[in-house]
Amino acid sequence: MKKRDISQINEKIDNGEANIYTAEEFKKLIKEDNAPSFDEVDVVTTGTCGVMSGTAAILNFIVSPPGEFIKADKVYLNGVPAFAGPCPNEWLGEVDVILHGTTHSIDDVNYGGGFLLKEIMEGKSVDVRVESVDGKVIENTITRDDINRAQIIGSRMAFKNYTAFTNPGSEEVSSIFAATPLKGNLSGLTFSGCGDINPLQNDIPHNVINTGKRVLLNGAEAYILGDGTRSSPQKPNLMLSGDMTRMDPYYFGGFKTGQGGEIYNTIAIPIPVLTEEIYNNLLIQDIDVSIPVADIKGRHLPLGETNYYELWKDYDLRPKYDRQKCSSCSECEAELVCPTNAFSDKSLDLSRCFGCGMCSSFCSHDAFDMDTGSVDIKINEKEVNIPIICRQSDRLRANKLSLKLKKMIKSGEFKL
């Protein structure tokens, strides 16, 4: 069996001779029957972007001069409750907090930790309210520059084996798997997962994706801390951590669901091709990655099965909005369902768009041009065709971060 070690790959990188592909590029060559051989590929950069509920931030910032209060009891940032501590910072006027990406504002269930953290990184002002153990209330405004330390910890990220959901019942069901209640009678399908570009999908035995490995999390260097919570050989995921102040807000943010605000992240992981086994694992394609389709209510009771080729094919990754076709409805459904607020005031901000497809599914006058496709699934011996109405993973962002990682490795900015 052929082998090479990491120092050989690093030497090729230093000499500008390394063959580095993004997973998107590599899979395209496989499809064209033109896959580079083991000798012709040194590194493949994989990626994924999606709603990752287990995301929290540890923040430290000053709210008052020292001596004004004993220690924080309750802390709110733009109305989003954060956990004070663990460090009590007694009499110091500063607070350590842990903020969950899935915690909702006390004023608005659709605004939560994910939206807040993105706003902090975009440099926006944030209202802070501290209720102290000695009964004082301190109110202040902070920006990114006032935050001394901000670290993201993801307790279950880069998940590999997802389930797609539909609603076979007659009544609509509200869930975290779509921004709006899922209507019944198999009228729509929602799914997550980036298929064959997902890091863990390309290294199922964890030959190289393991504890201590350096990765990119939302554009910044981060590290794998180990397995994520609820990780199992069948459904692996990772625990990661990185410095939030170095992250690019394009790659993370809030995502509205039927159960309120969630948070999405983007991850890219390099796979050095050290052995033929590692190489062979990279040959997996969307069509090989199956995904069960389950009842949104039962969650784990599959109704049928499909695969990521059927889910992604060459469907559109972003919508086009045609103002001429917009009928200026009194209540804009597209705006209401847009999970990232990318469509607002009849304007589409592509830098915030997640490519979920909800706007084109819900606009009542076809003002959006976006084909997100449909899948044929056998349910109870009957073939049914279900339109894909919501994608909770974003292949465009995942591919962009994989490309950024490839460039960073090539330039020597990111060492393997």
Kindly list the residues in this chain that would bind ligand SF4 in the complex (CB under 6 A): 319, 326-329, 332-334, 338-340, 342-343, 348, 353-359, 363-365, 367
Shorter beta-carbon distance to ligand SF4: residue 238 or 356: 356
Residue type, 379: I
Shorter beta-carbon distance to ligand SF4: residue 92 or 342: 342
Shorter beta-carbon distance to ligand SF4: residue 199 or 249: 249
Q: How far is the CB of 245 from ligand SF4 (least distance, A)?
A: 26
For residue 404, CA distances in Å to 46, 85, 217, 411 come to 11, 35, 12, 11
Q: How far is the CB of 162 from ligand SF4 (least distance, A)?
A: 18
Q: How far is the CB of 322 from ligand SF4 (least distance, A)?
A: 9
**259/256 Cα distance (integer angstroms):** 8
Q: How far is the CB of 359 from ligand SF4 (least distance, A)?
A: 3
Q: Which residues contact 263 (CB under 8 A, 6 or more apart)?
A: 51, 52, 53, 55, 101, 102, 112, 113, 114, 117, 252, 253, 254, 255
Q: How far is the CB of 268 from ligand SF4 (least distance, A)?
A: 21
Compute φ and ψ for 340, nearest 5 degrees: -110, 5
Shorter beta-carbon distance to ligand SF4: residue 48 or 361: 361
Compute φ and ψ for 317, nearest 5 degrees: -95, -15
Shorter beta-carbon distance to ligand SF4: residue 5 or 366: 366
Tokens of 286: 């969307």
**Are 212 and 238 a contacting pair, CB within 8 Å?**
no
Shorter beta-carbon distance to ligand SF4: residue 254 or 270: 254
Q: How far is the CB of 48 from ligand SF4 (least distance, A)?
A: 17
Residue type, 266: T
Write down the H helix ranges in 57-128.
Answer: 113-121
Give residue 313's Cα distance to chain centre. 20
Q: Can you give the C-alpha Rg of the chain in angstroms?
A: 23
CA atoms within 13 A on the CB side of 384: 19
Task: For the chain, report the end-to-end CA distance as a whole number of angstroms.
Answer: 23
Shorter beta-carbon distance to ligand SF4: residue 295 or 335: 335
Q: How far is the CB of 246 from ligand SF4 (least distance, A)?
A: 25
